[in-house]
Amino acid sequence: MRGAGRRLMPLLRPRNLVLASVGALLVAWPYLGADRFVLHVAALTFVWAVVASYWNLTNGFAGITSLGNMGFFAIGAYTSAVLAKELDLTPWATMPVGALATMALVTVLVGLPVLRLRGIYIALLTLAFADALPSVITIFRAWTGGGIGLLGIPELLEDLEKWQAYYFALAFFAVAQAALVLVVRGAPGLAFVALRDSEPFAQALGVDRFKEGLRVFAISAFFTGFAGALYAHLLGQISPAMLGIEQFLMVISMWMLGGAGTLLGPVLGAAIITFGNEYLRVAGSLRLGLLGLAIVITVLFFPGGIMQLVGRARGFLTRPRRGGSDPDTVDGAALPVGSGSETGEGR
Amino acid sequence: MSVLEVSDLAKRFGSLEALRGVSFAVEEGEVFGIAGPNGAGKSVLFACIAGFYRPSSGSIRLDGEEIVGLGPHQICHRGLVRTFQTPALFHSLSIRENVLIGARFGGAKEDRVEDILRFLDLERVAERRAVNLDLFTTKRVVLAAALATGCRVLLLDEPMAGFSFGEVERYLDLVAEIRRTCGVTILIIEHLLDVLIGVSDRMMILHHGQVLFSGPPDEVRRHQGVVDVYLGGGTGG
């Protein structure tokens, strides 16, 4: 009995209890009086949280400056939507196909060439990849609808209700986040972070930069492509506008605002930006300005994002008042800022 | 048979010849010291052996097998690991995770990690993040991670730079212990010539990318070429 109790103790940590409570609240939300609009925005938040989290996997955890993740999202969305519409297939079959197609295309077209480059050149090539997609969409306008977009994309269910869409998006979010935790806490995450922190040392210790780089692109592309596919079937319409600068900056802002290199940060960032974007519509053209201001303030004063604030608050609450030493310091020196280092929540 | 054989190795960066016809062999279990003035090509030599640079010409054999053209991770999997002059640990990971990376990706068994942490007296700080560590602890973590790969040949690039005298002695004790208990062949680049003479079985002095001296440590100080270009009037260390 005592042994079982000891095994259960880690599950009863305050953080796990808070996460379990939030999870229960999210499951119960539709029954707690949330209206259709709120459920719709929440469903979109789950989708964006996955996109932001997996963008953060490449950039925050693996330190690969990819700017092409909205391209991954668009490939998943268009592949699933076109297959469902043209071949009259159920979205439940086309969404995994869309995700797999995204993974294959990104790994071959982006991963292979990009990983022979470094730094800013990776950013440029991935950005060029995403930037080329609207032209590809236009070329295949007979299927994709060109610049106007693709309308009448089959829904996940006939006459899909908002609460149903909410639960589908929540389930996808839960699976994607669980997979992300496994990746980050497992051997791949260890390799990604090692390469980010000190690539030569990681290579000297046997980490294969190229293989791990391909792996991070493949994982990120699969879930981002799946998110794109779900987005298409939730909204019923997509257009090349999803590859525009506004959407691009919004998703980048999500993981930057939340905290790069952390698991929870991009989720918080997605919630704040998606809901903020909707509720600030009353501010008209000031909307994007206000969001931008919030991001600038965060980046300037808290480069580690919201999770840095959380870490500081936790550090303040748990710091010994007199005597003793800070458990996160050696020889009395303070920790550097950012990349989840202060939160202990990332790698 | 020599565990490591370097033959006629050359490395050019454009018109700069960093290594010119370097040849030497290291026997199993040996400590092989390498010294030379700044810019002599010592670190470039390590980079070529460990797969970070592709040599312009020449051959490098590990256990009789050619390793030129292999990547650093592949060379690590064959049992050769290098460390760096400026140690850069995985700062967002704990000390234990730093060592675990060596075991997990270097191809060794992960149960080595605890033994190695104990061996290098890192158990007490194993859960701390590898940031803001003092230099001696940092170098011990580097050693631990390298040993965790299960390597048989270890290339140490100026491992004692920045140490106090006491730390140098403690580090030398560690090297001796590693050699005795793990049977690892060690190549050390070091500017502290007295230290290198004391710890090495054989030595090599590089100058302008060429081998100026190769032989027993006690002959280094008597070699006129070494005195002229490196020791400067017979002083050194």
Residue for token pair 């280094």 = B220
> Reading across the β-sheet that carries B153-157, which strands appear in turn?
B80-82, B153-157, B185-189, B31-35, B202-207, B210-215
Select the residue from A190, A205, A263, A308 to test the B interface by mutation, using most B Cβ atoms within 10 A.
A205
In a domain, A307, yes or no: yes
A119 with A258, same domain: the answer is no
A135 with A76, same domain: the answer is yes
Q: How far is A345 from chain B (nearest CA, A)?
A: 11
Q: How far apart are alpha carbons B97 and A295 in whole angstroms? A: 33
A152 with A232, same domain: the answer is yes
Enumerate residues 6+ apart whose C-beta is below 8 A from B57.
B8, B9, B10
ipTM score of the complex?
0.92
How would DSSP label each residue in A181-228? HHHHHSHHHHHHHHHHH-HHHHHHTT--HHHHHHHHHHHHHHHHHHHH
Question: Which domain range does residue A254 map to?
Answer: 245-319+333-347
Cα four-point dihedral sign A237, A243, A247, A248: positive
In a domain, A326, yes or no: no
Q: How far apart are alpha carbons A330 and B140 in whole angstroms? A: 15
The whole-number pLDDT of residue A119 equals 81
Contact A169, A157 (CB under 8 A): no
3-state SS assignment for residue A83: helix
To which H or E segment does residue B43 belong?
helix B42-49
The whole-number pLDDT of residue B107 equals 80
Name the residue type at position A130. A
How many C-beta atoms surround the C-beta of residue A125 within 10 A?
17
3-state SS assignment for residue B37: coil
> Reading across the β-sheet that carries B65-66, which strands appear in turn?
B16-27, B2-13, B57-62, B65-66
Could you say which DSSP state residue A149 is in? -
Kindly report the pTM of this predicted structure. Answer: 0.86
A250 with A183, same domain: the answer is no
In this complex, the residue of B82, B90, B97 whose CB is nearest that of residue A198 is: B90
Q: How far is A60 from chain B (nearest CA, A)?
A: 12
Which stretches in chain A have pLDDT values below 70? 1-8, 10, 319-347
Select the residue from B46, B49, B73 to test the A interface by mutation, using most A Cβ atoms within 10 A.
B73
CB A205 to CB B146 under 8 A? Answer: yes
How many angstroms separate the Cα of A130 from the Cα of each of A53, A100, A133, A240, A253?
18, 18, 5, 11, 17
Q: Which domains does chain B have, with CATH numbers?
A: 28-53+71-234 (3.40.50.300)
Name the residue type at position A174. A
Classify burial at A263, counting beta carbons within 10 Å of its beta carbon; exposed 0-12, middle 13-18, buried 19 or more: buried
To which H or E segment does residue A331 belong?
none
Q: How far apart are alpha carbons B112 and A206 in whole angstroms? A: 16
Helix/strand/coil (H/E/C) assignment for every residue in A22-70:
HHHHHHHHHHHCCCHHHHHHHHHHHHHHHHHHHHHHHHHHCCCCCCCHH
Cα–Cα nearest to B30, from B168, B155, B210, B171: B155
Contact A239, A77 (CB under 8 A): no
In this complex, the residue of A330, A340, A341 whose CB is nearest that of residue B133 is: A330
CB A330 to CB B125 under 8 A? Answer: yes
In a domain, A20, yes or no: no
CB B93 to CB A190 under 8 A? Answer: yes
Residue for token pair 């995403």 = A130
Cα four-point dihedral sign A135, A137, A138, A139: positive
The alpha carbon of residue A69 and the mean position of all alpha carbons in its chain are separated, in whole angstroms, by 10
A200 with A265, same domain: the answer is no
The whole-number pLDDT of residue A346 equals 58
CB A329 to CB B132 under 8 A? Answer: yes
Residue B5 β-bridge partners = B25, B61
3-state SS assignment for residue B180: helix
A52 with A169, same domain: the answer is yes
Which stretches in chain B have pLDDT values below 50? 234-237
Q: Which residues of B touch A (CB under 8 A)?
A: 50, 52, 71-73, 76-77, 81-84, 87-93, 97, 100-102, 104-107, 125, 128-129, 131-134, 137, 142, 145-146, 148-149
In this complex, the residue of B72, B91, B146 whose CB is nearest that of residue A203 is: B72
Tens of pLDDT, residues A104-117: 999 999 989 888 88
Q: How far is B226 from chain A (nearest CA, A)?
A: 32
The whole-number pLDDT of residue A294 equals 79
CB A200 to CB B84 under 8 A? Answer: yes
CB A200 to CB B137 under 8 A? Answer: no
Contact A113, A66 (CB under 8 A): no
CB B104 to CB A187 under 8 A? Answer: yes
Residue for token pair 């297939």 = A89
How many angstroms separate the Cα of A340 from the Cα of each of A258, B94, B139?
10, 13, 25
Could you say which DSSP state residue A152 is in? -
CB A194 to CB B84 under 8 A? Answer: no
A113 with A239, same domain: the answer is yes
What's the total number of domains in chain A?
2
Q: How far apart are alpha carbons B135 and B166 in whole angstroms? A: 13
Could you say which DSSP state residue B104 is in? H
CB B101 to CB A208 under 8 A? Answer: no
CB A205 to CB B131 under 8 A? Answer: no
The whole-number pLDDT of residue B108 equals 76
A237 with A175, same domain: the answer is yes
State the count of interchain CB pairs (< 8 A) between A and B.
112
A229 with A271, same domain: the answer is no
In a domain, A3, yes or no: no
A231 with A272, same domain: the answer is no
A126 with A65, same domain: the answer is yes
Q: Which residues of A touch B (CB under 8 A)?
A: 187, 190-191, 193-194, 196-198, 200-210, 261, 327-331, 333-336, 339-341, 346-347
Contact A333, A340 (CB under 8 A): no
CB A341 to CB B105 under 8 A? Answer: no
A-chain CB neighbours of B101 within 8 Å are 190-191, 194, 202, 205, 207
A205 with A146, same domain: the answer is yes
